[in-house]
Amino acid sequence: MEFWGVNIYYWIIFLPIAGGLLGFIINRLRSEFNFVALVGTLYFAIRIFLKTRGEPIFDNLAQIGSFNFRFYLDNLTGFILLFVAISAFLVWLYSLKAMSKRPRERVFYLYLSLTLAAANAVVLSGNLIFLFIFWNLLVFSLYGMLQVAKGDQDSSFAARKAITIIGVADYALMLGIVILLVTVGDVDFPVAEKLTLSNPWLITSYILIMIGALAKLGTMPLHTWIPESAKVVPASTLAFIPGSIDKLLGVYLLIRVSYFIFDISGSMSLRILLMVIGVVSIVVMALAALMQKDAQRVLAFSTVSQAGYMVLGIGTGMPVAIAGALFHMLNNVLYKSVLFMTVGSVEDRTRTTDLALLGGLGSKMPVTLFAFVIAVLAISGVPPFNGFYSKWMIYQGIISMSNQLPLWFIFLICAMFGSILTLAYSLKLLHAIFLGQKPESLNKVKEARFVMVVPPLVLALACVVFGVFANIVPLKLFVLPSLPFKIGSIGFWSPNLATILIIVGIIIGLIIYLIGTVSKPKKSRVFVGGETLNEDEARVTGIDFYSSITTFDMLDKTYSFSEGGAFDFYNYLQGAARGLAYIFKNVINYIIVGIYRSIGKIVRAMGNLTSFLHTGELYNYVGWIFLGGIILMLLLAL
């Protein structure tokens, strides 16, 4: 597969790097270089995607020391590569205006290209070591990207938190891969025979690699860098990294290691571990999202919650659910990007993402509202949008585990509860930003700029298409071929019938609404504490939708704990490290320095003794000489 004589794999890795570097150095032509790089990447991704519809492709690159570098492309590779390229292109398009005239936008595009190149290399790699090299590069590029802050805020602490958490997970991944390398000998794809998890070292290796993948994916407990950075980082970064790339790559690694290298369908405990992690992420993060007051933070927690669905699906071990997890990953990329981008558009116009300061923008930004509503319905799992389909597949997988796992219904209930909560916080977001009363300060807000409106609309349209024509487009083309096993029938889904039924349902609902005794809302003057408040001061924002939850003492305390960072892995890590460090430092100081001091004291004592013996009087010395002589003669005589 060549282009201008060079193999396409090199193009798809080096073109973004070249474009990014050139664009960074020659600032005036930055957009042009990046455009070429991203469109080129998209083109190559499409070519690779089409090529991989047949047999998998391997290609050995080099052998250095005993590191074997090879590429491996199968259906899964082509699928993920395609959506990485699409996502990068749309985020770039969006950023053209979203990031313009922001501080450090030059560096932003450099890191964007670097991340894209590294992501491509990760997906193309045919060997765990090769994958690890570029996974590691992603840590650095993530750090760089997170250093680009939103306005004049300082994002360096969030960047530090991210690099610490992801770095530690990276080390775990390294250890896992190295243990595998040493135990099994080579870690090339495709693995001739999938490893079973019999040996405790193999299990350790799997868990370590899983930790690496989960940290990237952003599930609990390694997720805290996402909400932390959501406060201070622009929407484009959030749409690209935690929204799309991390999910794509995290699920990619997780599926590779769970079903391509190892085969965890045999190990119930590992699957339960994955399912528990998934379910806890779903529910806890959705609960956290309910109480947030900043739009980007709501979306950040939502991202972690959705990642939980993917892990849950993969953990079930049922082909339907695994396909559902892959499909959910794809859908998440779509609707999550819409959500982040639309919130970014709002922020671009209003300069704030604080829910208390927003409201009633629906009339001013109708197109953005439209995309947002579609994304909200999709993320909540409302048919006929795509979210419904993927969640349904995951639920089906859980149900089919009923004979293996006695407590399966707990997982099902938690997942469905999570879905309800998703709808809850999404509606809160919708109301707080677009519906409700508009504050005075936002009277002059216009619709988002064209370049910022197009990518969300495209993605929203994709949500609809992928949902209505789920069997034809995404599943058949993308998801199902990527799995190493066949799936039975998924169920009976007739897009036409479902769409007609839903439209009929909406029409009936509208009729009921209009016929009913709904009149215009009453207006009255507000008289509080001796003063009349005008409309703006008396405005009801959307942030207190669910504050009745805080009447439960325990939940309230849990919320304030977690906002204060009590469940934050980063804090535990720092705390543990500092604690250990304190112990170490004291060990060193007391024991070792103590030993040195004692040696010093002994030496000084000896010195004092000998200087004491040197009295300076001749007769003493003569006495010592005679004494020594007598002893010597005695020794010689014996």
Partner 1 sequence: MIGFDFFLDRFGVFLSALFIFIGLMSFIYALATLKKKGHRLEFYITMLLIVASGIGVALSYNLLLIFICWEISTFALWRAIGFYREKEGLSAASFAFITNFIAASIMLVGFIMLYIDNGTFNIFEIQQYNMVAVVLIMVGILAKSVTLPLHIWLVPAYKAIPSAIGGCLAGIAENLGAVLFLRLFTSSNFIAPPFFTAVAWIAIVSSLLLGGAALLSNRLRSLLAYSTISQLGFILLGFAVGGTYGTIGGLIYILAHALAKSGLFFGVGIIEDMTGKDDLSSLCSVLKISPALGVLMALLAGSIVGFFPMLGFWAKLMVVIGAVAKSTYLGIGAIIAAVFTLLYNWRFYHELFFAKPSCRLSKIKKPSYTALAVVFVLAMVSLLLGIFFYQPINYLTANGGF
Pick 582 or 626: Cβ nearer partner 1: 582
CB nearer partner 1, residue 86 or residue 163: 163
CB of 574 to partner 1, least distance (A): 7
* Binding range to partner 1, per CB under 8 A, among 499-507, 518-526, 554-562, 573-581: 573-581
Which string of b and e fits 378-397 if b means at least 16 CB within 10 Å? Answer: bbbbbbbbbbbbbbbbbbbb
CB of 181 to partner 1, least distance (A): 7
What 51-57 contacts at long range (C-beta under 8 Å, 24+ apart), as own/partner pairs, is: 51/1, 51/78, 52/77, 52/78, 53/78, 53/481, 56/190, 57/1
**Token code pair at residue 299:** 């979306």
Nearer to partner 1, 3 or 171 (CB): 171
In the complex with partner 1, the residue whose CB is nearer, 549 or 581, is 581
Chain positions 595 to 614 lying near partner 1, rule: CB under 8 A, are 595-596
On whether the CB atoms of residues 569 and 224 are closer than 8 A, the answer is yes
Q: Which stretch binds partner 1 (CB under 8 A): 81-89, 125-133, 246-254, 321-329?
A: 125-133
Looking at the Cβ atoms of 202 and 421, the one nearer to partner 1 is 202
Within 133-172, the residues that bind partner 1 by CB under 8 A are: 133-134, 136-137, 139-140, 154, 156-157, 160, 163-164, 167-168, 171-172
Helices (H), ranges, 291-352? 295-316, 319-350
Residue with smaller CB distance to partner 1, 170 or 347? 170
Look up residue 462 and give its two tokens.
């994709």
Shorter beta-carbon distance to partner 1: residue 14 or 493: 14
Q: Smallest Cα–Cα separation from 253: which of 318, 177, 182?
A: 177
CA 444 to chain CA centroid, Å, is 36
The rounded distance, in Å, linking the Cα atoms of 291 and 363 is: 26
Helices 386-399 & 319-350, crossing angle to 10 degrees? 150
Select the span of 233-241, 331-339, 512-520, 574-582 touching partner 1 (CB under 8 A): 574-582
CB of 160 to partner 1, least distance (A): 5
* Contact with partner 1 (CB under 8 A) among 4, 66, 553, 636: 66
Least spacing, CB of residue 554 vs partner 1, in Å: 34
Binding to partner 1 (CB under 8 A): which residues in 182-201?
182, 201
Point out which span in 131-139, 262-270, 462-470, 492-500 binds partner 1 (CB under 8 A): 131-139
Which residue's CB is nearer to partner 1, number 208 or number 311? 208
The three-point CA angle 484-487-488 to 5° equals 160
Phi, psi of 362 (to 5 degrees): -60, -40
State which residue, 180 or 239, has the beta carbon closest to partner 1: 180
Find the shortest distance in angstroms from Cβ 290 to partner 1: 32
Distances (CA, A) of 607 to 289, 461, 610, 614: 72, 89, 5, 11
**Residue spans of alpha helices (H) in 381-407:** 386-399
Q: Binding marks (x or -) toward partner 1, 203..222, rule CB under 8 A? A: -x------------------
For partner 1, give the closer residue by CB, 122 or 378: 122
Nearest to 433 by CA among 363, 522, 328: 363
Q: Contact between 62 and partner 1 (CB under 8 A)?
A: yes
Q: Could you say which of 65, 406, 530, 616 contacts partner 1 (CB under 8 A)?
A: 65
Q: Tokens 């952003």 — which residue?
A: 218
CA distance 417 to 391: 12
CB of 171 to partner 1, least distance (A): 5
Inter-axis angle of helices 200-217 and 295-316, to 10 degrees? 150
Rank residues 9 and 478 by Cβ distance to partner 1 and give the closer one.
9
**Which of 131, 181, 222, 239 is in the footprint of partner 1 by CB under 8 A?**
181
Candidates 444-452, 557-565, 569-577, 615-623; binding stretch for partner 1 (CB under 8 A)? 569-577
Stretch that binds partner 1, among 61-69, 274-282, 301-309, 394-402 (CB under 8 A): 61-69
Cβ pair 433, 295 in contact under 8 A: yes
Q: Cβ closer to partner 1: 172 or 490?
A: 172
Among 36, 46, 61, 175, binds partner 1 (CB under 8 A): 175
Closest separation in Å from C-beta 317 to partner 1: 27
Task: Specify whether the CB–CB gap between 626 and 634 falls below 8 A.
Answer: no
- Contact 51/57 with Cβ under 8 angstroms? yes
Question: What part of residues 575-594 is at the interface with partner 1 (CB under 8 A)?
Answer: 577-578, 580-585, 587-588, 592-593
Q: Residue 513 Cβ, how far from partner 1 at the closest point, in Å?
A: 53
Question: How many Å apart are CA 387 and CA 390, to the nearest integer?
Answer: 5
Contact status: 557 vs partner 1 (CB under 8 A): no
Q: Give the nearest distance from C-beta 263 to partner 1 in angstroms.
A: 22
Q: In angstroms, give the least distance from the CB of 144 to partner 1.
A: 9
Q: Write out the binding residues for partner 1, residues 273-332 only, by CB under 8 A.
A: none
Three-state SS for 512? helix
| Residue of 251, 264, 255, 170 lying closest to 208 (CA atoms) | 170
Centre a 10 Å sphere on the Cβ of residue 41 and count the other Cβ atoms it contains.
26
Backbone angles phi, psi at 521, to 5 degrees: -65, 145
Q: To the nearest whole angstrom, how small is the minimum distance from the Cβ of residue 590 to partner 1?
A: 12
- Give the tokens for residue 567: 């469940």
What's the CA gap between 353 and 347, in Å, rounded?
A: 6
Of the pair 52, 141, the CB lying nearest partner 1 is at 141
- 106 interacts with partner 1 by CB under 8 A: no
CA dist., res. 197 & res. 271, Å (int):
12
Count of chain residues binding partner 1 (CB under 8 A): 46
What is the SS3 string spanning 90-131? HHHHHHHHHCCCCCCHHHHHHHHHHHHHHHHHHHHECEHHHH
Q: From CA 36, how far away is CA 613, in angstroms rounded? A: 89
In the complex, least distance from residue 124 CB atom to partner 1, rounded to whole angstroms: 16
Which residue's entry shows tokens 């997982």? 411
Please give the residue ranges that form the binding site for partner 1 (CB under 8 A).
62, 64-66, 129, 132-134, 136-137, 139-140, 154, 156-157, 160, 163-164, 167-168, 171-172, 174-175, 178-179, 181-182, 201, 204, 573-574, 577-578, 580-585, 587-588, 592-593, 595-596
